[in-house]
Amino acid sequence: MEKTIKKPIKITDISKSKEQLVKINPQELVPLPPPYDKPDNFPKIKQLTEEQEQQMDSSLDGFVLVGFPKSVSEEQEKKWVEKFLSGVKKLLNKEDNWTFLKPLLISLEYCTKCQTCSKACNIFQMSGEKEIYRPTYRAEVLRRIIKKYIKPGGRLFGKFYGADIDLNRNLLARLAELSYRCTLCRRCAQACSIGIDNALITREIRKIFSQELDITVPDLHKLGTVQQLETGSSTGMPPLAFKDNIEFLEEDFEEYTKMKFNLPVNVPNADILLIHNAGEYLAWPENPEAFGIILEAAGISYTLSSDLVAYDSVNYGLFYDDIQLAKIALKHAEIAKKLGVKKIVLGECGHAHKALGVVADRIFTSENNIPRESCLTLLKDIVFSGKLALDPSRNDFPVTLHDPCNIVRSMGIVEPQRKILRKICPKFREMTPHGIENYCCGGGSGFAICKSLNFPDWRMHISGRMKLKQILEAFQGDLGPENKKYVCAPCSNCKGQIRDLFKFYKVTEKSSIYYGGLVELIVNAMSDIKKPFIEWEML
Amino acid sequence: MAIFKHGDIEIEVDEDGFMQEPDLWNEEVAKALAKTESVEELTPDHWKVVNYLREYYLEFHVAPMIRMLCKKTGFSLKEIYELFPSGPAKGACKVSGLAKPTGCV
């Protein structure tokens, strides 16, 4: 066990000695409501093996996601410092930073350190206010690097105006990990009276590490965007398996309901190209199935695509790399154009909404700038069009709604999903707070798919803590196993995180709380389908 | 990357114990990997799951959806958890020599 430096931790500590800056003790975290209030009842934090400790740097907080190499030669250190600085320079000019230059410059320039953001950050709060997780901490590290190494005279006079920081191996190792201790939920940016976006600064730090130093998280890069561009999907599912899955879903539904059912693939000139997160087909196939049932019943002209990348809306480039982001977004637009559809509709995947729905505007030209729409607005229009026969009494169980940050806070799509739930779920209740003030599931910015080493324990103990607390509070007074309850989470990533939380804390077992998407609830209320669509034992 | 050793068997695995080269899988490897998943003995029911996963993987280069696994083997999800306590994706896939599931699954 490594010693920890005594509080308070300063910004400059990030460059110092190899001692671990912070140690996480589950007993010191903000407690969960009973019967989940005894940390000893849950799995202990996984310790790294000796071999892993020797290879990877864990001197930030004892957790490892990036796996920055432990021993770095002086020559390598010098090279990385140079590359990092070259990356910082690129962030600050418009030729190289064609995605986020303006909001980044404003965020770097005007922060008054009032700390309103710290109060808004669930990670900082639930960790028991660990200094390194403060939203301004990593931002301030970058600011000081800029002041000292980029601004004229910084190296000589820097310490007189807050530029006292050493850009060395220790800083790089800790900053690389620290850029992955924020879920990019942007609750801090919303709380800031002048809109300083510390999540964006975090994302841009990840970008420097990826684009300049080739330091990435394997789950997001090698097994994520690289695999998606090569095999067609971040799940590794090739087009052949996709088509086989579609056939299986059609048969499965027909067998279950004795109704005919078709999922259209590669239909030219349909109105809509619908793209799901491919994880849905493998982990939650009832979700794409439910989409198919609703769109068919409403008579919507749409198609899925079996082209490489076009059956997976995932774009993890959003979280760490502009080049990967652009490659995938362009592929999505290319297939839509090839099929001749009028627009792309994104299924229940939060980050795909933001990547293709918003950020792609910075990538597309007038030629490929195809309209994109959220499934939530389309579903609201369908549910209120009268085209579906809906019987809300079939959803006669308590339901609460999780707001995916990318869809709700970042895009402002707040009401459509609520209007639907108010109409079809008589026992719907909100979490506190909700809407644009929601808390992240704790799996944001791709964390939900990061399953390696001991990082999942950080997600379970710290980043997911507030969401679990909110879910339990939404069902307060009914936390026993008697009644089934449903958390509606219209986002694949959020579902993955909520599934992991429920398993870790035994929530389904103890409190009969299940989770799923929005379309499943709509189909469950459709009176034309005789058997209930939601099969609790499969959730 | 780590090396997993059991008797005469020596294979490369990732940090969660999944095989790095699924082509090197055989029944002896399956028996050895099963021990890491608290499965002391592979019964015919275990083999039914493992063989289906293997066949599917060789054809499609990815693990099947859980619903498909249940339907094709005739086991409920609960029964699969009884066979492989850490579940279909982690336990059964690992014993079958499949790569670790990736993406939002």
Q: What is the pLDDT of residue A452?
A: 85
Q: Which residue has the higher pLDDT, B8 or A276?
A: A276
The reported pLDDT for the residue numbered A3 is 53
Residues sharing a CB contact under 8 Å with residue B68, sequence separation 6 or more, in sequence order:
A245, A248, B56
Residues of A whose CB is below 8 A from B76: 537
Could you give the strand order of the β-sheet that contains A428-429, starting from the edge strand earlier in sequence? A428-429, A399-401, A485-488, A513-516
Confidence grade of residue A157 (pLDDT, cut at 50, 70, 90): confident
- Which chain A residues contact residue B1 at CB under 8 A? none
Q: How far is residue A136 CA from its own chain's centroid? A: 20
Mean pLDDT of chain A: 95
DSSP A304: B
Chain B residues whose C-beta sits inside 8 Å of any chain A C-beta = 2, 14-16, 60-68, 71, 76-78, 99-105
The 10s digit of each residue's pLDDT in A456-481 is 999 999 999 999 999 999 999 999 99
For residue B2, give the nearest of A51, A231, A237 by CB distance.
A51
> What is d(CA A397, CA A427) in angstroms, rounded to the nearest whole number?
6
Q: Which domains does chain B have, with CATH numbers?
A: 22-95 (1.10.10.370)
Burial of A393 (0-12, 13-18, 19+ CB in 10 A): exposed
CA closest to A244 among chain B residues: B60
Separation between Cα atoms, residue A413 and residue A29, nearest integer Å: 32
In this predicted structure, what is the pLDDT of residue A6?
59
Closest Cβ–Cβ partner in A245, A282, A453 for B105: A282
Look at residue A75 in the predicted model and tell me its pLDDT.
97
pLDDT at B100: 87
pLDDT reported for residue A7: 64
Q: Is the Cβ pair B65, A240 closer than 8 Å? A: no
> Which residues of B fall within a CB distance of 8 Å from A455?
none
> Inter-chain contact B15–A219, Cβ cutoff 8 Å?
no
Tell me whether residues A235 and B16 touch, CB distance under 8 A. no
Number of other CB atoms surrounding residue A156 within 10 Å: 9
- Dist. CA A152–CA A143, nearest whole Å: 14
Question: How high is the pLDDT of residue A155?
Answer: 76
HEC profile for A441-501? CCCCCCHHHCCCCCHHHHHHHHHCHHHHHHHHHHCCCCCCCCCCEEEECCCHHHHHHHHHH
Q: What is the DSSP string of chain B?
A: -EEEEETTEEEEE-TTS-BS-GGG--HHHHHHHHHHTT--S--HHHHHHHHHHHHHHHHHSSPPPHHHHHHHHT--HHHHHHHSTTHIIIIIHHHTTPPPP-S--
Q: What is the DSSP letter of A525?
A: T
For residue A153, the model assigns a pLDDT of 79
Q: What is the pLDDT of residues A483-533, one digit of tens each?
A: 999 999 999 999 999 999 999 999 999 999 999 999 999 999 999 999 999
Angle at A343 between CA A340 and CA A345, to 5 degrees: 125
Average the pLDDT over A324-339 and give the result.
Answer: 98
Pairing of strands B9-13, B2-6: antiparallel
User: Residue A303: in which H helix or E strand, if any?
Assistant: strand A302-303
Instruction: Specify the long-range contacts of residues A213-216, CB closer than 8 Å, at least 24 apart.
Output: A213/A80, A213/A83, A213/A84, A213/A87, A213/A172, A215/A66, A215/A68, A215/A176, A216/A66, A216/A320, A216/A321
Query: Which pLDDT does position A332 carry in this prediction?
Result: 98
Q: Verify whether the Cβ–Cβ distance B101 to A235 is below 8 Å.
A: yes
Q: Dump pLDDT digits (tens) for A375-430.
A: 999 999 999 999 999 999 999 999 999 999 999 999 999 999 999 999 999 999 99
B103 interaction partners in chain A (CB closer than 8 Å): 223-224, 227-228, 233-236, 278-279, 282, 312, 314, 449
CB atoms within 10 A of CB A368: 15
Residues A419, A422, A424, A428, Cα dihedral to 10°: 130
Q: Are the beta carbons of A355 and A203 closer than 8 angstroms?
A: no
The CA distance from A119 to the nearest CA of chain B, in Å, is: 30
Cβ–Cβ below 8 Å for A537 and B16:
no
Q: What's the gap between Cα A29 and its chain centre?
A: 23
Cβ atoms of residues A235 and B102 within 8 Å:
yes
In chain A, whose CA is at the least distance from the CA of B80? A538
A82 by DSSP, 3-state: which? Answer: helix
pLDDT of residue A63: 98
Catalytic residue among B1, B3, B104, B105: B104
A309 SS3 class:
coil
Q: What's the pLDDT score for residue A1?
A: 46
User: Tokens representing A74?
Assistant: 């002086």
Task: For residue range A49-85, list pLDDT tens digits in order.
Answer: 998 999 999 999 999 999 999 999 999 999 999 999 9
Task: Report chain A residues touching chain B, CB-CB < 8 A.
Answer: 51-52, 219, 223-224, 227-228, 231, 233-238, 240-241, 244-245, 248, 252, 277-283, 285-286, 312, 314, 349, 448-449, 451-453, 492-493, 495-496, 537-538
Q: Of A56, A263, A282, which to mutate for an interface test with B (greatest number of B Cβ within 10 Å)? A: A282
pLDDT digits (tens, 9 = 90+) for B23-76: 899 999 999 999 999 999 999 999 999 999 999 999 999 999 989 999 999 999
Q: Is B104 a catalytic residue?
A: yes
Q: Which two tokens mark A526?
A: 């459709």
Sort out which chain B residues have CB atoms less than 8 A from A233's CB and list them: 103
* Phi, psi for residue A203 in degrees, rounded to 5: -60, -40
Mean per-residue pLDDT, A448-459? 94
Structure tokens of A405? Answer: 């940050």
Residue A334's pLDDT band (cuts 50, 70, 90):
very high
Least CA distance to B1: which residue of chain A? Answer: A52
The Cα of A345 is separated from the nearest Cα of chain B by a number of Å equal to 19
Helix ranges (DSSP H) in A305-388 = 317-320, 322-339, 350-357, 375-383
